[in-house]
Amino acid sequence: MTNHQAHRDRPIRVLLQTTIPPTPDDWHIGRFSLLKAHLASLMSPQRLPMYDVVARDRSGAADDPVLSTLDASDFDELWLFAVDTGDGLSDRDGLGIDRFRARGGSLLIARDHQDLGCSVCKLGAVGAAHHFHTMNPEPAARRVLDDTSAPAIAWPNYHSGNNGDVQRIDTVGALHPVLTRADGSAIREFPAHPHEGAVSAPGGESARVIATGVSAVTARTFNVIVAFEGGASGQGRALAHASFHHFVDYNWDTSTGCPTFVTDPAGDQLQRAPERLADIKTYVANAAEWLARP
């Protein structure tokens, strides 16, 4: 069944998954509950659920039984939150995800600072969009600390703002559908994070940077989202994010808590004005819809 048929005949099946086994004091999938609830709440004009959302952590097995066979599943989209330090995907997991995209499945891949989530380098062109400290690094001029308040966190670590605050994002080129509000204007605010990672558009595919941010420390511009249009051969679309913190409960509502290793000071912009979550919620709905198209 193609993505188009799935959208017409049944809810789109979306897999939200982390790259770590269930770990209470870490960024396990339970910390993405607000994202899951928002996706599950979206309705078609006929008031039917648009998305069937499954959320899970990685299995502790050598090969994850879902990811390594994802191409044989009936999932339409994979939203992968790479929260590991290098061992989050086995070779078979990576091949399963690559085959999934080749047969029309769509991907949203999000990582974070330094080497956090570097297992995504196994994922073909979409993996090549992600730059880390020890794997696929950015150009030499960018291999410097940006978040100077956390010297223990090596580059890349772009400081878009405190957790609990918002960052302004700027669109690049023609306004992309995933960044368009209902009134046709551009989405401008995302949840902030003090040390986002690095993404860029790799060569060899129809991919481009669609949004950038500006460091609150150095005023340096950095890429926030890369979009892959997919291919005429049926290859699925994809989005590469500089940080999974765009989607984490804690970054939408700091009262939900965070792992104990998070020591950054928290902001209160979203607690004081939760209506400012409107842009990220619109983006989530747009991304799910855009990824579902053939």
DSSP code string of the chain: --HHHHHHHSPEEEEEEESS---TTS--GGGGHHHHHHHHH-B-TTS-BSEEEEEEPPPSSSS-TTGGGGGGS--SEEEEE--SSS-SS-HHHHHHHHHHHHTT-EEEEE--STTTTGGGGGSHHHHHTEE-SSSSPPPGGG-S-S-TT-TTSPSS-B----TTSEEE-EE-SSPPGGGB-TTSPBP-EEE--SSB-EE-PPTTSSEEEEEEEE-TTT--EEEEEEEE---TTSPPPEEEES-GGGT-HHHH-GGG---TT--SPP--HHHH-GGGGHHHHHHHHHHHHHHH--
pLDDT at position 3 is 42
pLDDT above 70: percentage of residues in the chain: 97
pLDDT at position 232 is 64
CA pair distance 260, 203, nearest whole angstrom: 39
Nearest to 156 by CA among 168, 140, 170: 140
pLDDT at position 8 is 55
pTM summary value: 0.96
Residue carrying the six token digits 């600390």? 145
pLDDT above 90: percentage of residues in the chain: 91
Q: Distances from the Cα of 205 to the Cαs of 177, 228, 229, 279, in angstroms?
A: 19, 7, 8, 28
pLDDT digits (tens, 9 = 90+) for 42-67: 999 999 999 999 999 999 889 999 99
More confident residue, 4 or 196: 196
Q: Give mean pLDDT, residues 121-128.
A: 96
pLDDT digits (tens, 9 = 90+) for 209-218: 999 999 999 9
What mean pLDDT value characterizes the chain? 95
For the chain, the straight-line distance linking the first and the last C-alpha, in angstroms and rounded, comes to 11
pLDDT digits (tens, 9 = 90+) for 234-292: 899 999 999 999 999 999 999 999 999 999 999 999 999 999 999 999 999 999 999 99
CA pair distance 193, 256, nearest whole angstrom: 16
Q: Are strands 238-241 and 106-110 parallel, antiparallel or unpaired?
A: parallel
Amino acid, single-letter form, for residue 225: I
Q: How many residues does the chain have?
A: 294
Per-residue tokens: 162: 């405190």
Nearest to 110 by CA among 188, 27, 54, 174: 27
Supply the angle between the helices 33-41 and 278-292 in degrees, to the nearest 10.
60
Q: CATH number of the domain at 3-292, please?
A: 3.40.50.880
CA pair distance 257, 233, nearest whole angstrom: 44
**Res. 7: pLDDT tops 90:** no
pLDDT digits (tens, 9 = 90+) for 180-209: 999 999 999 999 999 999 999 998 789 999
* Domain residue spans of the chain: 3-292
pLDDT at position 1 is 35
pLDDT at position 6 is 43
pLDDT at position 294 is 64
pLDDT digits (tens, 9 = 90+) for 91-118: 999 999 999 999 999 999 999 999 999 9
CA pair distance 13, 269, nearest whole angstrom: 33
The backbone torsions φ and ψ at residue 18, rounded to the nearest 5 degrees and listed phi first, read -95, 170
pLDDT at position 233 is 72
Q: Are 119 and 90 within 8 A, CB to CB?
A: no
**Res. 128: pLDDT tops 90:** yes
pLDDT at position 4 is 41
